[in-house]
Structure 1
Amino acid sequence: MLREGGEDAAVRADLAAVLMAGGRLRGAIGQWLRAAELASAQPAVMLTLARHLYFAGELQAARGCLARISWEEVGAPATLAEAGRMRWLLGEFGEALTLIGRSVRQGIEAPDAHYLYAMLLQFHGRVGQAEEVLLRCLRTWRRFGDAAVALVHLRPQTAADHVDRIRGLVKGLPAMPDHPVDRLALANFESALFKIHDDLGDYDQAWSHLERSNALMHRHAPYDRSGESAVVDALIGAGSGIPISAEVPDESSVGPRPVFIVGLPRSGTTLLDRMLSRHPQIASAGEINDFRRQMRWVTDVPADGVAGMLAVLERLPGTDFRLLGERYRQQTRWRAPEARYLIDKMPINFRMVPFIRRALPDAVIVHIHREPMDVCYSNLKAMLGPASAYSYDMDSLAHYHGLYRRCVGPWSGRDPGAVIDVRYEDLVRDPEPLLRNILARCGLAFVPECLQPERNEAPVATPSSSQVREPVHARSIGEWRRYAQHLGPLQRALGS
């Protein structure tokens, strides 16, 4: 069609879809980029192209598509909501809040849009407004369990004011739902009831709700034990074949120097990020997938779960790591145009450390870790969604923790001193020496503001966003002991 009919944006986009389905990532990206050049600046067209380019790792081009639209002139609520969702994915939370807010005010009837609006309000510290939106969600969409979880995590529950409301919503669902939507809704409601009773100190009642929530989630999103093991085997194999970079960092590299904060989810990555980004020379990108996306680009492998990652790792040792590093810088430098350092705090990058070291030899890498029972319990109690299937079953949690230790072991022994090691317990009890050490590695002077993360005014987009607006505290150390009588299987599994 292109040969016979000439240049056409829609045909280019269709060709991109065919190439992607055939496993040709770079070819697809080339067609989407050309389609973006040819397409008219219609909101729906630009949004579609922006979405494809974003998930393919072309964030600069995705932003370019969005920038071509004068959003002040767009009145369709659904289009505004989708544009806000794209800005949220890009980490542009201020722009996302503006767009989603307009969509809600213009009457969009979609629970996801209202929920995202509430989350963006929370990210900006506007907790009271977020609460109003979430309560409205629950009144309008009685099976929208995400809103219940978000509602009870806005602040500590000091009175049982939401219990009756959420219990009433539970009564509207089957006790053992077969439909996935009902199952996920009930799991969320049970998780919310756990949070309320845990805050109130009613631990027996809290545990019963957590057990039900996690059993439902474990059924809804089973943990792929063999798949995760295969990926870690491949990671270790590929990493062992990569020579430790002896290259002198390229001083001519454009953009900020990367700082990677890695570790298990719920290990303190957000707190450390909020502390360091109080420094005037350090900006935070939050949790971004850019390094893994650029790994897919250099290996020409589309995202495809476990199979896709195994294909990436099979091809990775023979790729151009300098190009991988350059691609990463190109797609992230816009996030911190004025800062000397940019934090990438995607926890799962603990799997990527050998490859980061090779592709970005000037990167500062900080590994934060907690006592195993504390970090595993923190994952067990957090409703992290279907993507975190490991977190809803004690045996799965212990297995995932074991895979984490397998990943960390080789690079900590093979490349000692390359990664700064931080214990969460030390960070919350005596943070200044640790922060001084990290900043010295960056060539930066310590500033006292880093000890006051609660004064960090930047939006924060993680499940712990309300906690990190408090002064540093050590309350979560040993928190699992409240449920020690129930967590014996986890202790034994971790010990083994």
Structure 2
Amino acid sequence: ICASHPDVHGAGELSKLRRMANGLGLKYSSDTDVGKSVAAITPELTKTLASEHLAYLRERAPDALRIVDKMPHNFELIGLIGILFSNARIIHCRRDAIDNCISCFVLQFNETHNYSADLETLGLYYREYDRLMRHWNKVLPGRIFENRYETLIEDQEEHSHRLIDYLGLPWDDACLRFFDRDGSVNTYSNWQVRQPIYKSSVKRWRNYEGEIQPLIEALGNLAEVDL
């Protein structure tokens, strides 16, 4: 939807931020080590890193007013994003927790995402993701736009207007016809983004309810089983 706007460039899933975080010592560290690494990010270093990253993005789309990096695991880096880019628009895409996990489970990601290969582990991982997102919303109030999948498909036009408004851009009807957009898509969503919005994936997990109890139990109160 965003990338269909004429002033927006969809850059796909970029690994640049993750490499930057790793270089700062924010990978697989203890709480103490992470605290030291964050404390070492001086105003001068912040300016340098931000300038380098913006230049990297600008090379991809010199004329775009907004550039979208849709790497899913950017949710782990929102703190770093908040430090480096005070004007960044952060869009949090949410979905029914069980549906979301089932989608990850059946896609059979590579070993980097081995948490998704076991239903119980996947449910526990999702709980940690949810906990982290609640933390980011507390420390960065008002900075994160929540884009709920089920809300979007109920009223695509209204929600799309809100999304584009959050980006600070004028409305363009092309955003409603994202499936007509030219260009390659090299992620697992390559089929979905070529289709109009559909509702058949909502509560799809009920088709497998008898086989996914370990996931539902691991999700606990995040599993919306009664809705």
TM-score by length of 1: 0.42
1:429 to 1:279, Cα distance in 2 relative to 1, 3 A: same
1:369 and 2:94 are equivalent in the alignment = yes
Alignment of 1:78-477 (within 5 A): 275-297=1-23, 299=24, 301=25, 306=28, 314-319=36-41, 320-477=45-202
Question: Partners in 1 of 2:167 and 2:127 — Cα distance?
Answer: 31
Question: Partners in 2 of 1:293 and 1:418 — Cα distance?
Answer: 23
Q: Which residues of structure 1 form unaligned runs of 5+?
A: 1-274
Partner deviation per Cα, 1:414-457 (whole Å, 9 max, x = no partner): 32211111111112221222222222233211111111121011
User: Structure 1 residue 313: deviation in Å?
Assistant: 6.0
User: Structure 1 residue 316: deviation in Å?
Assistant: 2.3
Question: Partners in 2 of 1:331 and 1:296 — Cα distance?
Answer: 17
Question: Partners in 2 of 1:442 and 1:423 — Cα distance?
Answer: 16
1:478 and 2:203 are equivalent in the alignment = yes
Runs (4+) of structure 1 exceeding 4 A deviation are 307-313
Question: Partners in 2 of 1:491 and 1:315 — Cα distance?
Answer: 36
Query: What SS is found at the alignment partner of 2:93?
Result: strand
Contact 1:294 1:328 in 2 (8 A): no
1:375 to 1:454, Cα distance in 2 relative to 1, 3 A: same
Question: Partners in 2 of 1:318 and 1:437 — Cα distance?
Answer: 37
Query: What SS is found at the alignment partner of 1:422?
Result: strand
> Bigger relative contact order, structure 1 or 2, given CA contacts below 8 A and separation 6+?
2
Query: What SS is found at the alignment partner of 2:86?
Result: coil
Question: Partners in 1 of 2:183 and 2:138 — Cα distance?
Answer: 36
Contact 1:431 1:451 in 2 (8 A): yes
1:309 to 1:290, Cα distance in 2 relative to 1, 3 A: farther
Question: Partners in 1 of 2:97 and 2:138 — Cα distance?
Answer: 20
Letter in 2 for 1:450: C
Question: Partners in 2 of 1:288 and 1:456 — Cα distance?
Answer: 20
User: Structure 1 residue 469: deviation in Å?
Assistant: 0.9
Give me the identity figure in percent.
29
Contact 1:295 1:324 in 2 (8 A): no
Question: Partners in 1 of 2:105 and 2:194 — Cα distance?
Answer: 23
Contact 1:453 1:472 in 2 (8 A): no
Letter in 2 for 1:280: P
User: Structure 1 residue 403: deviation in Å?
Assistant: 1.0
1:311 to 1:460, Cα distance in 2 relative to 1, 3 A: farther
Question: Partners in 1 of 2:54 and 2:30 — Cα distance?
Answer: 23
Query: What SS is found at the alignment partner of 1:421?
Result: strand
Question: Partners in 2 of 1:380 and 1:349 — Cα distance?
Answer: 20
Query: What SS is found at the alignment partner of 2:102?
Result: helix
Contact 1:290 1:332 in 2 (8 A): no
Question: Partners in 2 of 1:405 and 1:456 — Cα distance?
Answer: 32
Contact 1:322 1:360 in 2 (8 A): no
Question: Partners in 1 of 2:94 and 2:168 — Cα distance?
Answer: 24
Question: Partners in 2 of 1:317 and 1:429 — Cα distance?
Answer: 44
User: Structure 1 residue 390: deviation in Å?
Assistant: 0.6
1:289 to 1:479, Cα distance in 2 relative to 1, 3 A: same
Partner deviation per Cα, 1:449-482 (whole Å, 9 max, x = no partner): 1111210111001112122211111111111111
Question: Partners in 1 of 2:183 and 2:101 — Cα distance?
Answer: 28
Task: Provide the residue aligned with 1:18 in structure 2.
Answer: none
TM-score by length of 2: 0.88
Contact 1:357 1:363 in 2 (8 A): yes
1:413 to 1:307, Cα distance in 2 relative to 1, 3 A: closer
Query: What SS is found at the alignment partner of 1:387?
Result: helix
Question: Partners in 2 of 1:351 and 1:309 — Cα distance?
Answer: 14
1:490 and 2:215 are equivalent in the alignment = yes
Query: What SS is found at the alignment partner of 1:345?
Result: coil
Structure with larger Rg: 1
Query: What SS is found at the alignment partner of 2:28?
Result: helix
